[in-house]
Chain A
Amino acid sequence: MLRLQKLTKTYKTGDQALKAIDLEVPKGQVLALIGPSGAGKSTMIRCINRLVEPSSGGVLLDDTDLTRLGAGALRRARREMGMIFQEYALVERLTVMENVLSGRLGYVGFWRSFLRRYPQSDVDEAFRLLDRVGLLHMADKRADELSGGQRQRVGICRALIQNPKLLLVDEPTASLDPKTSRQIMRLITELCRERGLAAIINIHDVALAQMFVPRIVGLRFGEIVFDGLPTALTPEKLTEIYGEEDWEATIEAVEDDEDIEAAE
């Protein structure tokens, strides 16, 4: 469904963030993108919806090449891709409801959105989503009154109300505590399963990725150095991705975690 073809990004400073990335994500597959800071994870997902302009190569969503679209067509294509951010990126001074509805901006005209006159179907969907993530009672609160985990749930609602085919998720748990991190990861993967969404999840936490995601892609210096099942991620592979370190503890911790999860 999503295909990256020789996707390359060179910044003006000369840093090559992505070196001819080839990647295919079938419909409904959730994929975790791991790698050290500066490996190009953020750049890669931003090149997909062109928040960052790729230097060359193609991004094929279904059969349209997103890199060739003009401004209007790009906006319509962006509606198909929901995005979730590390620092939530909610509009802090707007209410939860306004933040969720802002996911529909690509579908409603300027004046309707400016006067907050969204179609009733959008409002219904917003309430359904807020109920699904357990924040129905918060609909009228301002976004800056919420805790980190709650904000990220609002961010998830905003992405899902776009009715996307694909979720681009940038470090969803990096600002959250371990328990909330798991809850958020579980929520994202569950929702993807429910709706048959594909997702690319950038994530620092290898253990968390292995716990929830069926396919892991490792990025190092803008190149894919690993692509496979979580179980195939051996200490040697982690060394290849991140560099020399004692990885046994990380992997063991994951196995323990899985036991705990199962016990719960």
Chain B
Amino acid sequence: MPVLEKEGTQVWRRRTRGEALWRWFGWLIGVAVFAVCWQQISASTTWFFVWDAPRIADDIWTRATPPRWEYITQLGRPIWDTLNIATLGTLIALFLAVPVAFLAARNTTPSTLFVRPIALLIIVSTRSINSLIWALLLIAIIGPGVFAGVIAIAIRSIGFCAKLLYEAIEEIDHGQVEAITATGASRWQVMAYGIVPQIMPAFAGVAVFRWDINIRESTVLGLVGAGGIGLQLSSSLNVLAWPQVSLILLVILGAVVISEWVSAKVRGAII
């Protein structure tokens, strides 16, 4: 009851006194929990390593600079592999995500009782497992190499793409679908004319967004042996070749910056 009568005028407050007290009490609890956590963490920290960290970081920095520039000749092929893993993986994922999205969207699914839960399960299960773990599994199944990387990226991306797409499908303007239906169009024609044009911008957005993410994800896949530049990264790390590591990180940075730029351009062109 935030409106009070006070000397004949109506005073409005955002919260009643009780509510305000409860909020202050909540903040107090929050601060207390923070303090306790701080104490716990600091008790179980080996402080020597923390105090030592700047020195070690400085040591690695001096070892890693300057990057070993001539190593770049050996990185062309791996970074190309990485880009291919990301691009192919994204294409396969989109190809598989579209039907899943239509089956999952409430307004297009053939059956809310059976088909939709299955589609949602596909979305959740592919999304919940990191691509690195998918890669580990797939390497055991189909052997190490680029192909395992492509499939790992593809599987990981299905759920993400399908989820965003089915949300776009559920948000379409029903009037346009109704109008196409009223002309006597078949189920597939309603889809092609009433639904697809409406979700095209979302589809393009999702595609470039996921491609952008996949470039970053595919750079680390090599760490577990699934091809790409991560392979070079892990072997350089293993032999403590810090100047090579720093060059690889620079190359990855360059690739990511370029992909960001491309996806920003594409998104700008579509919307």
Contact = CB atoms under 8 A, between A and B. Distances in A.
Contacts of A49: 182
B186 A75 contact: yes
Interface in B163-187: 173, 175-176, 178-186
Given A79-B184, A92-B198, A110-B186, A85 B179 contact: yes
Interface stretch (A33-41, A99-107, A192-200): A99-107
B182 A81 contact: yes
A102 B178 CA distance: 12
B185 A106 contact: yes
Nearest to B175: A89
B193 A90 contact: no
A85 B178 contact: yes
B182 A91 contact: no
A189 interface: no
A76 interface: yes
B3 interface: no
Given A51-B178, A85-B179, A102-B193, A91 B186 contact: no
B184 A158 contact: no
A93 interface: yes
Classify chain A's interface size: 20 to 34
A5 interface: no
A162 B184 contact: yes
Given A91-B197, A93-B198, A113-B193, A106 B183 contact: yes
Given A87-B175, A110-B189, A51 B181 contact: yes
A47 to B, nearest CB: 13
Most A CB contacts (10 A, CB to CB) among B183, B198, B200 go to B183
A162 B183 CA distance: 7
Interface string A42-63: 0000000101000000000000
B175 A102 contact: no
B198 A91 contact: yes
B25 interface: no
A78 interface: yes
17 contacts: A49-B182, A77-B184, A78-B182, A87-B175, A89-B176, A91-B176, A91-B180, A91-B194, A91-B198, A92-B173, A94-B193, A104-B183, A105-B183, A106-B185, A113-B189, A114-B189, A158-B179
